[in-house]
Amino acid sequence: MNIERCEDLINWTRKAHALLADCLAEGAKQRSDSLAKMLLDYLAQHERELTVTIARVIEHAEPGALQAPLHDAVQGDTVRLEIDSETFAQITVEEISQLVFAVHNRIIDLYRSLEKRRELHRASGLLGEVLQFEERETMRLAHQVNRMQEM
């Protein structure tokens, strides 16, 4: 995916969460163990909710911020996600959590690096808003996953 503007990045973020949701849901269908299935279903639903919220961010964002160029700040390898449903169908509950949080942390790290770039000042507020949302949702998700695993 070619990411040239802030809107492209936010759309990539939405699509990353949608892809993760699809992989989690498909992985859940292939599981027989109830804890892993329940966790995968919960995570898939959470990721779907994130896609809806991020779509709303785009709808309500200032057009100037959305159109702000990223000046080659995002490279192809940075946004390539290599996840699939087969992996989620086979790994342990702990590994599921680790993989999901790795994707979330990758998104957070990307936004943190962009938020600090001076040449992106037109989009810094919007990037900061998405960063805060991602951080808050990742913390909430971590809390929920920990509670599920304690059951």
Q: Is 130 within the bounds of a domain?
A: yes
How many domains, in total, are found in the chain? Answer: 1
Q: Is 94 within the bounds of a domain?
A: yes
What does 37-91 look like in DSSP terms, one character per residue? HHHHHHHHHHHHHHHHHHHHHHHHS-HHHHT-B-TT-S-GGGG-----HHHHHHS
**Residue 5, strand partner residues:** 69
Q: Is 30 within the bounds of a domain?
A: yes
| CATH code of the domain in which 140 resides | 1.20.1260.10
What pTM did the predictor assign? 0.91
Q: Which domain holds residue 108?
A: 6-73+82-150
Long-range CB pairs of 97-106 (<8 Å, 24+ gap) are 97/39, 97/145, 97/149, 100/20, 100/24, 100/43, 100/141, 100/145, 101/138, 101/141, 101/142, 103/16, 103/20, 104/134, 104/137, 104/138, 104/141, 105/138, 106/81
Q: Is 1 within the bounds of a domain?
A: no
Per-residue pLDDT tens listing for the chain (151 residues): 678 889 999 999 999 999 999 999 999 999 999 899 999 999 999 999 999 999 999 999 999 999 988 866 676 555 677 888 899 999 999 999 999 999 999 999 989 988 777 777 788 889 999 999 999 999 999 998 888 777 6
